[in-house]
Structure 1
Amino acid sequence: MSTQTKDDENKRRVSDLQPNFSTVLGAASQFKGKISGEGDYVIYGSVDGESDIRGTLILQSTGYWRGQILATNLIVSGTVDGDIIARNRIELTSTAKVSGNIIGAIVAIADNAEFTGEVHITKNDGLTIFNERRSEGVASES
């Protein structure tokens, strides 16, 4: 029986809570349009468009996104030109480059992340600044 509380889960990295990812866009791939659906997504390539994901979206360091991103949880290690909105949590890792507004209940920004825009936190005490102690990749490749 787990004794982990909901507050303990909020203090964990989003990538620690994800068992696997149902959709992967490879580094050599490009997508134009709207991505919507349920499940967890990892983006290594480039997207020109918007999303509405009921799950976690990870934009790896090789990933580029132009347009608005909406997801339940969002981890950005790559480059975003557009607003990012999370129903729950947003994490910018040390390799993230974001030009746009950030809106989320919980926002965590690593040292050395590059960000131009405004941050809107929808939950009290929802901002965290952290030192990245992991390797660059946050999702394992299968």
Structure 2
Amino acid sequence: MFSEKKDKEPQILERNIIGKNTSFVGDITSEGDFRIDGKVEGTIKTIGRVVIGKSGSVSGKVECNNADIEGKFSGELIVNNLLTLKTTASISGDVVISKLSVEPGAEFNATCAMKGSVKELKNDQTKKERTA
């Protein structure tokens, strides 16, 4: 009578933390979120959110869905959705985003490309207005 639905395992996103007095050199790939309060040199690739805390520093390449930056970033940053720059953020390098939120005081010294939905303007026949 009713079709049976296969139960899908609930998706649990992991939270990964790189602490304040921690340095990491290398490449990281994960499906979870990251919070970085230490220093990272290399590549971070995730489908989750990347948060760089006030004391955090990342140099290299980051690919993620969302990012909140309070600390320092230099390199290539690819954010599929929203990039939020807090007051204490300092960004340099190349940035590709869909949406951008910048608080006053943030340093944004980067080449930025916005991707996503671009609305095309249609140039239909324009009507000329007549004045009396």
TM class by smaller structure = 0.7 to 0.9
* Residue in structure 1 matched with residue 102 of structure 2 by the alignment: 109
1:28-63 deviations in whole A, cap 9, x for unaligned?
001000111101110000001011111001000100
Task: Mark the runs of 5 or more structure 2 residues left unpaired by the alignment.
Answer: 1-12, 119-132
- The correspondence for 1:120, drawn from 103, 113, 128, is 113
Give, in whole Å, the separation in 1 of the partners of 2:49 and 2:60: 17
Show the counterpart of 1:89: 82
Aligned to 2:68: 75
Q: Runs of 5+ in structure 1 lacking a partner?
A: 1-19, 126-142
- Specify the code of the residue in structure 2 equivalent to 1:27: K
Q: Name the Cα RMSD after superposition.
A: 1.6
Distance 1:21 1:119 in 2: 29
Tell me which moved more, 20-29 or 67-76: 20-29
Q: Is the aligned partner of 1:50 residue 2:43?
A: yes
Letter in 2 for 1:63: G
CA–CA distance in structure 2, aligned partners of residues 122 and 99 of structure 1: 19
Between the two proteins, the alignment pairs up a number of residues equal to 106
2:54 alignment partner AA: S
**Percent of residue pairs bearing the same amino acid type:** 25
Q: 16, 19, 24: which one pairs with 1:31?
A: 24
TM-score by length of 1: 0.70
Report the 3-state secondary structure (helix = DSSP H, G, I; strand = E; otherwise coil) of the residue aligned with 1:117: strand
For the 8 Å contact 1:91–1:108, the answer to whether it is kept is: yes
Q: Which has the larger radius of gyration?
A: 2
Q: Aligned to 1:112, what secondary structure does the other structure show?
A: coil
Q: CA deviation at 1:123?
A: 3.0
Q: Hey, which of these two has a bigger chunk of helix by percent?
A: 1
1:64 aligns with 2:87: no
Post-superposition CA distance 1:52-88 (Å, at most 9, x none):
1110010001000110111111111100111211111
User: CA shift at 1:21, angstroms?
Assistant: 6.1
Q: Is the 8 A contact 1:92 1:113 kept in 2?
A: yes
